């Protein structure tokens, strides 16, 4: 017989059936009213449809994964769920603490690792029900500060990439493909001296001292790695 004291409506948003079932069983035994939203085949597949399916159950708490298929992201669910009065706990296999910080900045009450024992998740639900913090203020501030710093740096990287001319962007994409100055010159039908001048300009605008650093910055800034035609 399940315990009804302190009953909490919880929705699990998870596309891994075995993990979702384990959570469901553990939380039900704790006396909670558990519902599940399973993105993917036979279920909602976009962030908007997953959000609608979750809110349909009128949960007090939503336990969400971040990886919800090719067309949905758990991060996009956090803010609208939080605005609707739902406490969001992210349970993820992602170990990137910057992503954790983004989740907290979006309004998540806590971020937990899937590698943690189920008791950690159960304790988090108890804390939420009792109005207590799931994560310490120090840990939340540390993760959110790191995330904000990373976002600021990424903005600066993209600003530098945007300063490149179309031709310089083409040359940079060639470098991302591992092509040498000679190969770029041959492909573009220009002299090697011209390409070297363009590379020098790229390095100056990106504030880096090597082609390798420029390529690394381009990857971080999300410059599309596509084949280019002069």
pLDDT class for 32, splitting at 50, 70, 90? Answer: very high
In CATH, what is the architecture of 9-146?
3-Layer(aba) Sandwich (3.40)
| Least confidently predicted of 11-25, 98-112, 186-200, 216-230 | 216-230
**CATH fold for the domain made of 163-220:** Arc Repressor Mutant, subunit A (1.10.10)
pLDDT band (50, 70, 90) for residue 227: low
* C-alpha–C-alpha distance, residues 109 and 133, integer Å: 8
Measured over the CA atoms of residue 79, residue 84, residue 89 and residue 90, the dihedral's sign is negative
Stated length of the chain: 230
- Cα separation, 175 vs 227, in Å, equals 11
Q: Per-domain residue ranges for the chain? A: 9-146, 163-220
């Amino acid at each position: 017989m399940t315990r009804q004291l302190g009953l909490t409506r919880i929705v699990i948003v998870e596309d891994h059936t075995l993990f979702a079932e384990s959570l469901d069983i553990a939380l039900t035994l704790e006396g909670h009213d558990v519902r599940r939203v399973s993105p993917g085949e036979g279920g909602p597949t976009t962030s908007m449809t997953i959000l609608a399916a979750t809110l349909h159950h009128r949960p007090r708490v939503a336990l969400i994964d971040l990886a919800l298929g090719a067309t949905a992201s758990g991060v996009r669910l956090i803010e609208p769920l939080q605005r609707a009065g739902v406490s969001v706990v992210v349970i993820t296999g992602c170990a990137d603490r910057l992503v954790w910080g983004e989740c907290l900045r979006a309004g998540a009450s806590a971020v937990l690792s899937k590698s943690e024992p189920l008791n950690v998740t159960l304790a988090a639900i108890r804390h939420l029900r009792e109005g207590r913090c799931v994560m310490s203020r120090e840990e939340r501030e540390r993760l959110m500060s790191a995330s904000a710093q990373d976002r600021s740096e990424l903005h600066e990287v993209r600003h530098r990439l945007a300063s490149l001319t179309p031709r310089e962007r083409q040359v940079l994409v060639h470098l991302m493909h591992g092509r040498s100055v000679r190969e770029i010159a041959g492909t573009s039908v220009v002299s090697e001296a011209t390409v070297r001048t363009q590379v020098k300009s790229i390095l100056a605008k990106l504030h880096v001292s090597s082609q390798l650093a420029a390529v690394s910055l381009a990857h971080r800034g999300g410059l599309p790695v596509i084949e280019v035609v002069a």
